[in-house]
Amino acid sequence: MSNLLITNIGQLVTNDSAREGLLGIVEGAAVGVREGMISWVGASDAVPEEFRSLPAIDAREIAVVPGFVDAHTHAVFAGDRSHEHAMRLSGASYADIQAAGDGIYSTVRDTRAASLIELILGSRTRVARMLESGTTTVEIKTGYGLDTANELKMLDAIDAVDSSLPIDIVRTFLGAHVVGPEFNANRTGYVDLVVGEMLDAVSGRVDFVDVFCDAVAFTIDETERITAAASAAGIAVRLHADQLSRTGGGALAAKIGAVAADHLDHASDEDLSYIAAAGTVAVLLPGVSLMMREPAPDGRRFIDAGVTVAIATDCNPGTSYVETMPFIIALAATTSGMTPAEALWSATAGGAAALGLSDRGIIAPGKLADLVMLDAPSYEHLAYRPDGDLVRRVIKRGVPV
């Protein structure tokens, strides 16, 4: 039933800039859906005749918000790195673990060893939990294959998960996650492989190219080379930037017109001014800071600098095994200096902006009917109850999941 009428919505968060306030809230609302798209939004006691015969859901005064857009994840992987987290809690550093051949390399070994079906089944379980917790669009990166065949296997797994669940997946090629293990003594050879054979192989199958631009991964020069090749191939760019230290990745993202720059924990005020001017979206990842025991990203600083902010889970086996956006909203509001309204906007409209998508994250006529019905009377409960399972019902393209 992709035709639907939802009535008696106590509080509807639309994110519609034509309405008042950041969230464009409508009290006592109803939403009409046709063919999976929002067709009408208005007062519950003024539903137009043409929508009254549609299959209806009575929301019984609860809050309804746009489906969450999780704009940064590494949700396809195999293996288990719980022990690394335990080691970090006892004082080991992320960089030391990677330098000893584990960290991302541990997941690369396990992902290479997994069959396609094993990779699909493990990843599908995670993505299904994301959907259950209200994520209706998720970005997923490759980057645990690090050779052409295994990067393609990751894309095959993403395709299979996409076609088996009612969730939209945005695909990002992250062959430049770290230097492939076979190329430790030949970094340039690995970058050659990424911009040559790998990029050719993934072209037409991905929406973005990403590079982990950091001291433990790729230099600014290497990142520029990879992003230039992506642009030449007509693929949009996003970057992991200034996460562990300031390497200038944020400024580079602005310079090359990247759609998004992610992490940015160590970006300077000058970097933020470039990012704001370029219209590059900052994707802040408070789950990483929590699990790495680093200071939370300062969302307030970004917003005050005029930067468009998204928040995301960064679901990955190393630094943030977090699947649920409501938890990230609570974390951002409580630790990143963002108001509950800003956190929710950044998890919906902000996430869509970070993926270059203008057809979602907003509840208004012409947008996708991706909605989350909360088990709460107001969106503020998302910030208030971090462990609450507040998602009563998820609606994807007009169909209750």
Interaction of residue 287 with ligand NIG, rule CB under 6 A: no
Which partner from the list ligand NIG, Fe ion, none does 349 bind, CB cut-off 5 to 8 Å by kind?
A: none
In the region spanning residues 196 to 215, those forming contacts with ligand NIG, defined by CB under 6 A, are 212
- For residue 349, the minimal CB distance to Fe ion (Å) is 21
Number of residues that bind ligand NIG (CB under 6 A): 13
* Alpha-carbon gap, residue 333 to 327, rounded angstroms: 10
- For residue 265, the minimal CB distance to ligand NIG (Å) is 10
Interaction of residue 318 with ligand NIG, rule CB under 6 A: yes
Burial category of 217 from C-beta neighbours within 10 Å (exposed 0-12, middle 13-18, buried 19 and up): buried
- SS3 state at 169: strand
Among 123, 319, 346, 348, binds ligand NIG (CB under 6 A): 319
CB 312 within 8 A of CB 71: yes
Interaction of residue 280 with ligand NIG, rule CB under 6 A: no
Q: Which stretch binds ligand NIG (CB under 6 A): 219-227, 248-256, 313-321, 343-351?
A: 313-321
Interaction of residue 137 with ligand NIG, rule CB under 6 A: no
CA-closest candidate to residue 254, choices 231, 232, 276, 286:
276
Can you read off the two tokens belonging to residue 61? 């005064």
Residue 5's beta-bridge partner residues? 32, 56
Residues 6+ apart with CB under 8 A from 304: none
- For residue 94, the minimal CB distance to ligand NIG (Å) is 7
Interaction of residue 313 with ligand NIG, rule CB under 6 A: no
Interaction of residue 288 with ligand NIG, rule CB under 6 A: yes
Strand arrangement of the beta sheet that strand 309-311 belongs to:
68-70, 135-141, 168-176, 208-213, 236-241, 260-263, 281-284, 309-311
Displacement of CA 10 from its chain's centroid (Å): 28
Which partner from the list ligand NIG, Fe ion, none does 286 bind, CB cut-off 5 to 8 Å by kind?
A: none
- For residue 288, the minimal CB distance to ligand NIG (Å) is 5
In the region spanning residues 55 to 94, those forming contacts with ligand NIG, defined by CB under 6 A, are 74
- SS3 state at 92: coil
Among 7, 14, 133, 243, binds ligand NIG (CB under 6 A): 243
The residue type of 165 is L
- For residue 150, the minimal CB distance to ligand NIG (Å) is 15
Interaction of residue 265 with ligand NIG, rule CB under 6 A: no
Buried b / exposed e across 312-324, counting CB within 10 Å, b at 16+?
Answer: bbbbbbbbbbbbb
Interaction of residue 317 with ligand NIG, rule CB under 6 A: yes
* Alpha-carbon gap, residue 34 to 358, rounded angstroms: 19
The residue type of 87 is M
- 209 versus 341: smaller Cβ distance to ligand NIG: 209
Site residues, Fe ion (CB under 5 A): 314
Interaction of residue 316 with ligand NIG, rule CB under 6 A: yes
Which partner from the list Fe ion, ligand NIG, none does 253 bind, CB cut-off 5 to 8 Å by kind?
A: none
The residue type of 268 is S
Which partner from the list Fe ion, ligand NIG, none does 137 bind, CB cut-off 5 to 8 Å by kind?
A: none
Can you read off the two tokens belonging to residue 221? 């020069």
Which partner from the list Fe ion, ligand NIG, none does 210 bind, CB cut-off 5 to 8 Å by kind?
A: none
Spell out the alpha helix ranges (H) of 100-147.
104-113, 116-132
- For residue 311, the minimal CB distance to ligand NIG (Å) is 13
Which partner from the list Fe ion, ligand NIG, none does 135 bind, CB cut-off 5 to 8 Å by kind?
A: none
- 71 versus 390: smaller Cβ distance to ligand NIG: 71
Helix (H) or strand (E) segment spanning residue 163: helix 148-164
Which partner from the list Fe ion, ligand NIG, none does 243 bind, CB cut-off 5 to 8 Å by kind?
A: ligand NIG
Displacement of CA 165 from its chain's centroid (Å): 17
In the region spanning residues 93 to 132, those forming contacts with ligand NIG, defined by CB under 6 A, are 103-104, 107
- 168 versus 210: smaller Cβ distance to Fe ion: 210
CA-closest candidate to residue 326, choices 169, 168, 137, 130:
130
Q: For 198, which DSSP code? A: I
Interaction of residue 240 with ligand NIG, rule CB under 6 A: yes
- 201 versus 216: smaller Cβ distance to ligand NIG: 216
Q: DSSP string of 30-77?
A: EEEEETTEEEEEEEGGG--GGGTTS-EEE-TT-EEEEPEEE-------
Can you read off the two tokens belonging to residue 131? 């959907």
Chain residues binding ligand NIG by CB under 6 A are 74, 103-104, 107, 212, 240, 243, 288, 314, 316-319
